[in-house]
């Protein structure tokens, strides 16, 4: 597939990094040569220095033959205009990043009237992700499939959790829980466990379940499923605004601390249900004064990664709060893992993942029946959602009799809205949506799950 990416910032670089390994023909456009050179030096991509809004620049990039154009410059208006010109010039799908909250209520209108395939608001997407975590604080991360009918919940095994030193085989036989453990992260390893697997303290476990079934499972293993009742946010940026709006709308008492008086005044008008504190969020005395010791949810959303890490570590030390740490630049994942931060939010990865899901779903171009792609554990594993459109070697046969490749697990079947957590007797039928989790592989077709 021929893909043009306009804008070589953090999101643009992440897109090239992840898409370049999938045999795409990639062209990147940016006005600054110093942003293009590192990308073209490291990845298999062509670079053009210029303005992506320019017809001539887009022609040079090959817009007339492009399948997909992605505009992720720092300007919303430039992204939208770039997509409009691309639609008029070529016959490609277009995706624009639009971040300004003033456009939020107009996204549907803009997408329809301008003919865009997708408009992405990374701050809104990140806020939605954090809000889900605060409503289910036992989870480290939550991914949704099948339009929210099914959830992939990641949680950490603690010393007092029933799963500590517990065998996987007993979850269904003894606990009688209709969930499927599809992945375990243990240190640097990402595992798809078999029946003889034993959980240890510190493991991050991913389960697939319908929301009511997940609640039942967590209650049985002794993990609290109630949402937080109070939340503190340090940093008053756009993510903080969207997050506070979502939290206050569901009755969570929310407090924002920011040092900019003008921004605090603006937030007070935009968020009448929230408490806005103008002050230094890194001041230990101020945090204690504002109740950090008793807060149940804490989000560090300043513009400095280092600040956010220290704030979250402090919150974990002085309270029992569920903490969320926003990271934009730092890529020392092993160091961050050792710090045992509760949940880390990567806005640039959230945006990139949404775009990559769309790119992978362009079935005609990719000769694939992948509907959605979910990158897991920093890309070390994937969850793929397939649509079964015709009879094949994987249909009409009990899963237990299939010779499925190692490190691949069929973890969910959506049959006309009915969610099935499969066992060895279940079969795949035409019309099913199937979610497959895998490591160390790449699939374009559901039939590729079988051994040769």
CATH number at residue 278: 3.40.50.720
Listed range (51-65, 138-152, 283-297, 313-327) with the worst mean pLDDT: 138-152
Has residue 54 got a pLDDT over 50?
A: yes
Residue 337: pLDDT over 70:
no
Tell me the mean pLDDT in the region 343-368. Answer: 74
- Find the mean pLDDT for residues 249-254: 94
Q: Is residue 134 part of a domain?
A: yes
Could you tell me the CATH number of the domain that includes residue 160? Answer: 3.30.70.1450
CA distances from 46 to 3, 38, 356 (A): 11, 11, 19
- Same domain for 146 and 55: no
Tell me: do 209 and 269 sit in the same domain. no
Residue after which a domain boundary falls, among 157, 190, 220: 220
Q: Do 311 and 235 share a structural domain? A: yes
Residue 360 resides in a domain: no
- Position 332 pLDDT exceeds 70: no
Last residue of a domain, one of 99, 120, 141: 120
For helices 107-114 and 76-89, what crossing angle results, to 10°? 30
**In a shared domain, residues 26 and 88:** yes
Percent of the chain with pLDDT over 90: 46
> What pLDDT is stored for residue 368 in this prediction?
56
Rounded to the nearest integer, the mean pLDDT of the chain is: 88
Strand partners, 231: 254, 297
**In this structure, what DSSP letter does residue 258 have?**
E
333 pLDDT exceeds 70?
Answer: no
Do 77 and 35 sit in the same domain of this protein? yes
* Confidence class for position 428, pLDDT limits 50, 70, 90: very high
Final residue before a domain boundary, out of 323, 338, 353: 338
Q: Residue 105 carries which DSSP code?
A: G
354 within some domain: no
Would the pLDDT of 240 be above 50? yes
- pLDDT for residue 288 is more than 50: yes
Asked whether the whole model's pTM tops 0.85, one would answer no
Q: Tell me whether residue 257 is in a domain.
A: yes
In angstroms, the CA 366 to CA 361 distance is 8
**Statement to judge: residues 108 and 138 lie in one domain:** no
| β-pairing verdict for 275-278 and 139-145 | unpaired
The answer as to whether 88 is a domain residue is yes
Residues 329 and 242 in one domain: yes
Q: pLDDT confidence of 8, banded at 50, 70, 90?
A: very high
**What pLDDT shows up at residue 174?**
84
Question: Ramachandran region of residue 176, left (φ > 0), alpha (ψ -120 to 50) or beta?
Answer: left
Q: Residue 216: which domain range?
A: 126-220
Count of structural domains within the chain: 4
CA–CA separation, 70 vs 119, rounded Å?
A: 10
Average confidence (pLDDT) over 29-53:
93
Q: How far is CA 308 from the centre of its chain?
A: 19
Same domain, 132 and 203: yes
Q: What is the pLDDT of residues 68-83, one digit of tens each?
A: 999 999 999 999 999 9
Q: What is the pLDDT of residue 364?
A: 40
**23-37, 348-362, 406-420, 428-442 — which is least confidently predicted?**
348-362
134 lies in the same domain as 216 = yes
Residues contacting residue 386 through CB under 8 Å, at least 6 positions apart: 369, 370, 371, 433, 434, 435, 436, 445, 446
Report the pLDDT averaged over residues 91-103.
Answer: 89
345 lies in a domain?
no
> Cβ distance 312 to 341 under 8 Å?
yes
Distance, in Å, from the CA atom of 81 to the CA atom of 55, rounded to the nearest integer, reads 11
59 and 106 share a domain?
yes
pLDDT number for residue 363: 47
Report how far apart, in Å, the C-alpha atoms of 309 and of each of 135, 257, 281 are. Answer: 22, 16, 13
Residue 56 and residue 123: Cα distance in Å, rounded?
32
Burial class (CB within 10 angstroms; exposed 0-12, middle 13-18, buried 19+) of 249: exposed
* Assigned domain for 263 exists: yes
Main-chain dihedrals φ then ψ at residue 153, nearest 5 degrees: -105, 130
């Amino acid at each position: 597939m021929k893909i043009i990416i306009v804008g070589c910032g953090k999101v643009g670089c992440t897109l090239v990094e992840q898409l370049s390994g999938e045999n795409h023909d990639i062209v990147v456009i940016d006005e600054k040569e110093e942003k293009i050179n590192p990308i073209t030096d490291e990845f298999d991509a062509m670079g053009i220095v210029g303005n992506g809004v320019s017809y001539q620049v887009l022609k040079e990039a090959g817009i007339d033959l492009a399948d997909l154009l992605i505009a992720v410059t720092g300007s919303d208006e430039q992204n939208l205009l770039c997509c409009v010109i691309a639609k008029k010039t070529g016959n490609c799908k277009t995706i624009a990043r639009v971040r300004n909250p003033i456009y939020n209520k107009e996204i549907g209108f803009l997408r329809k009237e301008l003919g865009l395939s997708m408009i992405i608001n990374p701050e809104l997407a990140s806020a939605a992700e954090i809000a889900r975590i605060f409503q289910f604080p036992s989870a480290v991360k939550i991914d949704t499939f099948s339009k929210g009918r099914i959830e992939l919940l990641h949680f950490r095994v603690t010393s007092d959790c029933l799963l500590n030193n517990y065998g996987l085989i007993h979850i269904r036989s003894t606990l009688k829980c209709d969930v499927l453990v599809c992945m375990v992260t243990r240190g640097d390893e990402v595992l798809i466990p078999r029946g003889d697997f034993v959980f240890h303290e510190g493991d991050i476990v991913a389960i697939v379940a319908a929301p009511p079934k997940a609640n039942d499972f967590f209650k049985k293993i002794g993990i609290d499923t109630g949402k937080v009742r109070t939340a503190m946010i340090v940093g008053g940026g756009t993510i903080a605004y969207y997050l506070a709006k979502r939290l206050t709308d569901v009755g969570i008492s929310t407090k924002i601390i920011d040092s900019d008086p003008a921004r605090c005044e603006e937030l007070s008008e935009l968020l009448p249900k929230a408490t806005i504190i103008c002050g230094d969020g890194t001041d230990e005395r101020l945090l204690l004064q504002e109740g950090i010791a008793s807060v149940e949810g804490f989000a560090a959303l300043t513009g400095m990664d280092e600040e956010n890490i220290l704030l979250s570590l402090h919150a974990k030390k002085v309270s029992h709060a569920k903490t969320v740490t926003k990271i934009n630049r730092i890529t020392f994942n092993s160091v961050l893992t050792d710090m045992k931060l509760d949940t880390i939010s990567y806005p640039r990865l959230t945006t990139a993942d949404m775009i990559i899901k769309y790119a992978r779903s362009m079935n005609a171009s990719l000769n694939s029946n992948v509907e959605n792609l979910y990158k897991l554990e920093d890309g070390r594993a994937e969850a793929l959602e397939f649509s079964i459109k015709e009879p094949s070697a994987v249909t009409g046969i009990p899963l237990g009799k299939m010779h499925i490749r190692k490190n691949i697990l069929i973890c969910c079947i959506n049959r006309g809205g009915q969610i099935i957590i499969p066992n060895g007797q279940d079969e795949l039928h035409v019309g099913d949506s199937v979610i497959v989790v895998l490591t160390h592989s790449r699939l374009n077709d559901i039939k590729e799950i079988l051994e040769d």
